[in-house]
Amino acid sequence: MTSVAILGAGITGLTTAYHLTKAGVACSVYEASAQAGGVIRSLRDGEWLAEGGPNTILETSPRIAALVEELGLAGRREYSRPDASARFIVRHAQPVSLPANPLQFFTCRLYSWRAKLRLLREPFVRPGPHDQSVAAFVRHRLGQEFLDYGIDPLVTGIYAGDPERLSLRHAFPKIHNLELTYGSLIRGQFLGARERRKRGEVAKDRAKKFSFDDGLQVLPDTLHQRLGPAVRLHHTVAGLRRLPNCWQLHIEGPAGSSIAEHEVVVVCTTAHAAARLRIDAPGFPSLAPLADIDYPPVTSVVLGFPRERVVHPCCGFGALIPHREGFGILGTIFSSALFSRRAPAGHITLTTYVGGVRNREAALLPDDALEALVLRELGRLFGVHGGPVFRHVQRWPRAIPQYNLGYDSVHQLLRAAEAATPGLLFAGHYRDGVALSDSIVNGERTAARAREQLRNPAIPAPLAQS
């Protein structure tokens, strides 16, 4: 019987296994840790609910809704409240609401009139270099103020990164393609919308956000249940050896060392875990450079308060903080405003993120110092006073891969590795996008690539197209 080994039970690995199993392909998912789901961690404590990683999934593709339906989770899915759509950016130490439409843009307090009028030049700005930083691109097309108070906080919210280092081509490929295709972001927003509608896709800034009644962990837990014993926790694949007709896996598990054979192997681990793999195959390139991909630390601090201890209404999605504002936190999500059953009646839950590329040390502070930092900043921003009555801290020493300048070398290495050894595929957030929605969609595409590899074992499977 043909079979596929999947290394890593994060959301990419789980969705890949689910779609392969649905197609009748036998799978084994090897996960080194004690829990499936990767960074998706939800904690239910009575009437409190804390998310230790991501808080929402963006419904950017009909494939995401289809997966929820197939898993029988439609009744447990919860879209964010319609009255919680407001997003805030901090300027002059005050949360300022982002404009929701063009009219609000011209009347909002977030940008100066000089910055607003500069947008009129954007359709006439020539394209910049092929591989440029996000910061250089935005300065060139939109100006410094839009970088400081538009893109910098966006980069913080997605990557916990630095726009001066991130590659536009890799971190924001759709924006890069708008400039390439239409010569202008403004023209591209209007003309590109037609192409997205044809594909049934929705732009991330317009996509509906959802979670589940008991948090995002409902999704990986359900996938795990469906896959059953195919998911093998506490099993680390230490090495791979290419045999004439299959791959031989050297596995370390609770019962000691073992060997398994599979026709196709899909590596869905983190980049640094992939770099540690011992791969014995003729002509295979070293994966050691993957260890150089930066994963800055990020810590999630979830605090619950009686409503009267928070002055700000906190009605909306949350607030992001530009680096130039000088705060010690990256931003805060108004968790109990977004979804129900996140806090007891008369209380509020705030999820704050600390660390990232430009403040690594803060993410590593002891719990008491970390809480003191967060409380101080929440006091400045939202008028929080008094201590929390609920707290949950989740640390990620290596949180989000940074698609920095020169990231072409990573993609070239992965393509070379796949070309050198048919039957070995790479997928995951260091290749296919860091958002949960990207991982879910790419899991389905990776399953299709694996099936193609089973049909044509001597030919490397082509990368799936959007």
3-class state of residue 240 by DSSP: strand
- Confidence label for 200 from pLDDT (cuts 50, 70 and 90): low
Kindly calculate the radius of gyration of the chain based on its CA atoms and give it in whole angstroms.
23
456: Cβ contacts below 8 Å, ≥ 6 apart: none
Decide: 184 and 176 in contact? Cβ < 8 Å.
no
Res 197 pLDDT > 90:
no
3-class state of residue 460 by DSSP: coil
Structure tokens at 110: 């977030």
- Confidence label for 338 from pLDDT (cuts 50, 70 and 90): very high
Residue 131: what pLDDT?
87
Residue 378: what pLDDT?
98
pLDDT digit string, tens, across residues 267-303: 999 999 999 999 999 999 999 999 999 999 999 999 9
260: Cβ contacts below 8 Å, ≥ 6 apart: 5, 28, 248, 249, 251
Residue 339: what pLDDT?
97
Q: Report how far Cα 95 is from the mean position of its chain's Cα atoms.
A: 24
Res 337 pLDDT > 60:
yes
DSSP 255-324: TEEEEEEESEEEE-S-HHHHHT-EEE-TTPPP-GGGGGS----EEEEEEEEEGGG--S---SSEEE--GG
Res 353 pLDDT > 90:
yes
pLDDT digit string, tens, across residues 402-419: 999 999 999 999 999 999
3-class state of residue 233 by DSSP: coil
Average of per-residue pLDDT values in the chain: 93
DSSP 164: T
Residue 105: what pLDDT?
86
Residue 466: what pLDDT?
41
| Structural domains of the chain in order of their starting residue, each with its CATH number | 3-39+217-293+403-455 (3.50.50.60), 42-83+296-396 (3.90.660.20), 113-199 (1.10.3110.10)
The runs of H, that is alpha helices, within 119-267 are 134-141, 144-146, 152-159, 168-171, 173-182, 185-199, 218-227
What pairs with residue 267 in β-bridges? Answer: 7, 426
pLDDT digit string, tens, across residues 68-124: 999 999 999 999 998 888 999 999 999 999 988 878 888 889 999 999 999 889 989
Residue 399: what pLDDT?
96
Q: Which of 120, 171, 163, 168 has the alpha carbon at shortest distance from 142?
A: 120
pLDDT digit string, tens, across residues 128-183: 888 899 999 999 999 999 999 999 999 999 999 999 999 999 999 989 988 888 88
Residue 462: what pLDDT?
66
What is the reported pTM? 0.93
Residue 209: what pLDDT?
95
Res 465 pLDDT > 50:
no
Decide: 84 and 73 in contact? Cβ < 8 Å.
no
pLDDT digit string, tens, across residues 367-379: 999 999 999 999 9
Residue 85: what pLDDT?
86
